[in-house]
Amino acid sequence: MKKISLGNSDIQITRFCLGTWNMAGGPGWGPEGEEAGISLIRHALDRGCNFVDTARVYGSGKSEQVVGKAVQGRRDQVIIATKMMHCKPEEVGPYIAESLDCLRTDYVDLYICHWPFPSLPLEPFFEEMVRQRESGKIRAVGVSNFDLEQMRIALNYGVVSLQPPLSILWRIPHDLLDFCRENNVAVTPYSPLAQGLLTGRYTRRKTDSFGGPREGNLLFSEAMLPHSLQVASLVDGIADSMGSTSAQVSLAWLLQTPGITSVIVGASSTEQCDQNLGALDVTLSEEDYSRLDEAGRAVWDRLGPDETMWGWKPT
């Protein structure tokens, strides 16, 4: 599988990243059981994917533990990204130590600030992250859910990546994406399938069961869902005309978006993982890309400029 540089770093990643939020042990959300999660991660690695994403808060370290077990014996083949919440600088070292213990490794390739807390200054946090990087415990520093002004601060400390929510249905401001492109900051979107909305799950099968984390997702809200499903149906139609799956078309749209480095995609089975990987071989026409872009942006424009996917952000 082709690799690409992670921003300004010397780290080479595949354009498909396996997300492991659903391996945190919650019921009915991902692979059933730890062994299934381990097998899924190893399957993705066998298929050529070298990039795996997790976080401290995914099951209070459970997801990190699954990743750690899965990569034993092949650590040098894997780029591991994990995340911690923005915190006081004296808390950074202990959080990293916990991650290293769960991941069964002595370094993390990419350590990401999961959410910025407006009540805490960013500079002391990043100063400590730089010290941890210089000590060899992390290779590179990234961020998630940062706005443009926060990115300007982060760039002063050598941050190499931004992990935002991004899909046909959920966007980030143009100036933020332009900033990352101009400064060679990798953009690695999460929730690229809008938690299943863009897979055909709710259009082809006509299910109205939105359990688990989807219950708080604004795209599933009463006001937004009809518009979200209209775009999902457009995705389905384009997928049918191409002989592809809806998920593949949705992922291909992101992969063709200028400035997108790698897409973080979860899976509940090896079959689903393989289908998602098939997006790497799908190319949308300019017309289809534009149709999806315009339809999805019209949905996103219905939301306020400061909205987050779950209607929540740290204070």
Which DSSP string corresponds to 48-62? T--EEE--TTTTTTH
- Token pair 């350590």 in the structure block, residue: 111
Category of 141 on φ-ψ map: left (φ > 0), alpha (ψ -120 to 50) or beta? beta
How far is residue 220's CA from residue 203's CA, in Å, rounded to a whole number?
Answer: 13
- Closest by CA to 146, choosing from 124, 170, 122, 167, is 122
How far is residue 201's CA from residue 199's CA, in Å, rounded to a whole number?
Answer: 5
Residues for the chain: how many in total? 315
Tell whether 42 is covered by a domain.
yes
58 catalytic residue (yes or no)? yes
Tell whether 311 is covered by a domain.
no
Which entry of 58, 111, 190, 202 is annotated as an active-site residue?
A: 58
How far is residue 240's CA from residue 272's CA, in Å, rounded to a whole number?
Answer: 18
- Closest by CA to 18, choosing from 8, 35, 31, is 31
Residues near 195 by beta carbon (within 8 Å), at least 6 away in sequence: 213, 214, 217, 219, 220
Q: What are phi and psi of 144, to 5 degrees?
A: -140, 145
Residue 42 belongs to what domain range?
Answer: 3-195+258-280
Q: Which CATH number characterizes residue 108's domain?
A: 3.20.20.100
Domain count, the chain: 1
Residue 257 buriedness (CB in 10 A; 0-12 / 13-18 / 19+): middle
Tell whether 232 is covered by a domain.
no
- Token pair 């289908």 in the structure block, residue: 275
Tell whether 202 is covered by a domain.
no
Mean pLDDT by 10 residues, the chain (315 residues): 96 98 76 91 98 95 96 97 98 98 98 96 98 98 97 98 98 96 98 95 76 80 95 98 98 98 96 97 98 97 88 86
How far is residue 65's CA from residue 23's CA, in Å, rounded to a whole number?
Answer: 10
Q: What strands, in cross-sheet order, belong to the sheet with 108-113? A: 186-187, 161-163, 138-144, 108-113, 79-84, 51-53, 16-19, 263-265
Question: What pLDDT sits at residue 125?
Answer: 98
Element housing 108 (H / E): strand 108-113
Tell whether 276 is covered by a domain.
yes
Tell whether 222 is covered by a domain.
no
162 CA to centre of own chain: 10
Tell whether 27 is covered by a domain.
yes
Residue 224, token pair as written in the block: 């937004």
Q: What is the pTM of this model?
A: 0.96
Tell whether 131 is covered by a domain.
yes
Question: What pLDDT sits at residue 306?
Answer: 84
Helix axes 122-135, 89-103, angle to 10 degrees: 40
